[in-house]
Amino acid sequence: MTSTPMILLLSGSLRKGSTNEAVLRTAHAVAPSVGVDTVMYEDLARLPHFNPDDDTDPLPAPAAGLRAVLDRADAILICTPEYAGTLPGSFKNLLDWTVGGTEICDKPTAWINAAAPGRGHGAEATLRTVLGYTGAKIVEPACVRIPVGRDALGEDGLIADQKARNQLGEVLGLLASEGER
Ligand SMILES: Cc1cc2nc3c(=O)[nH]c(=O)nc-3n(C[C@H](O)[C@H](O)[C@H](O)COP(=O)(O)O)c2cc1C
């Protein structure tokens, strides 16, 4: 591992002004204070629809890029909305692209549920199932709820609430220490 651990941030939302993306952008802002590097994955919309026929060498460039950045990461942090009781199709598509590779296998991985209290459990359950197929190492204490409404975002698009920012710092620290083992 490099001296500063790198955590890949995966948002499941393509929406402009996404609260899930804001959680991860806030984690990115907090990361230096806990001695962690983060990289925001920006190419969700560029991934082609997964087709097993295309899961061969050479991979479509966006899929190869995804696997390369997953490979470089010491750990993964996901924040995704729930759509119709499960994951957004575009994000499930990203996860489908990871199944044929080994990059996620044994990689410390956690998710933040940013939905309102009592919501988002379907997305969490699907994440747990799909990540199980990929062999990701789920870091349970780093899987936390940080409810974030659209009114919680400041003009900079980030979460201002210090308690939430502290929680994000703790999550990053837990993932980084798992990545060092
Ligand atoms: C097509 C669609 C389906 C949704 N289905 C659910 C759902 O099943 N359960 C839920 O709690 N919220 C559901 N929502 C609400 C979103 O999860 C919520 O608006 C979330 O904040 C969107 O995340 P974002 O701000 O990161 O885009 C749905 C929203 C959309 C657009």
Q: Give the pLDDT confidence of 117-154 residue by residue, as tens digits.
A: 999 999 999 999 999 999 999 999 999 999 999 999 99
Please report whether residue 44 resides in a domain. yes
Query: Torsion angle, CA of 32/36/42/44, rounded to 10 degrees?
Result: -140
What is the number of structural domains in the chain? 1
CA distances from 128 to 24, 85, 89, 125, 162 (A): 19, 14, 16, 5, 28
159: which DSSP letter? B
Please report whether residue 132 resides in a domain. yes
pLDDT at 3: 78
Q: Which domain covers residue 164, as residue numbers? A: 6-180
Please report whether residue 74 resides in a domain. yes
Instruction: Find out whether the beta carbon of 113 lies less than 6 Å from any atom of ligand 1.
Output: no
Distance from the CA of 40 to the center of ligand 1, in angstroms? 21
CATH number, domain of 80, equals 3.40.50.360
pLDDT at 180: 80
What is the Cβ-side half-sphere exposure of residue 47, based on CA atoms within 13 angstroms? 25
Substitution candidate for ligand 1 out of 83, 86, 112 with most atoms within 8 A of CB: 83
- Model confidence at 1, pLDDT cuts 50, 70, 90, reads very low
Q: 88-112 pLDDT, tens per residue?
A: 999 999 999 999 999 999 999 999 9
Q: Which residues pair with 138 in a beta bridge?
A: 109
pTM of the model: 0.97
Please report whether residue 80 resides in a domain. yes
Please report whether residue 134 resides in a domain. yes
Please report whether residue 1 resides in a domain. no
Please report whether residue 12 resides in a domain. yes
Q: 11-68 pLDDT, tens per residue?
A: 999 999 999 999 999 999 999 999 999 999 999 999 999 999 999 999 999 999 999 9
Phi, psi of 13 (to 5 degrees): -115, 140
Distance from the CA of 83 to the center of ligand 1, in angstroms? 5
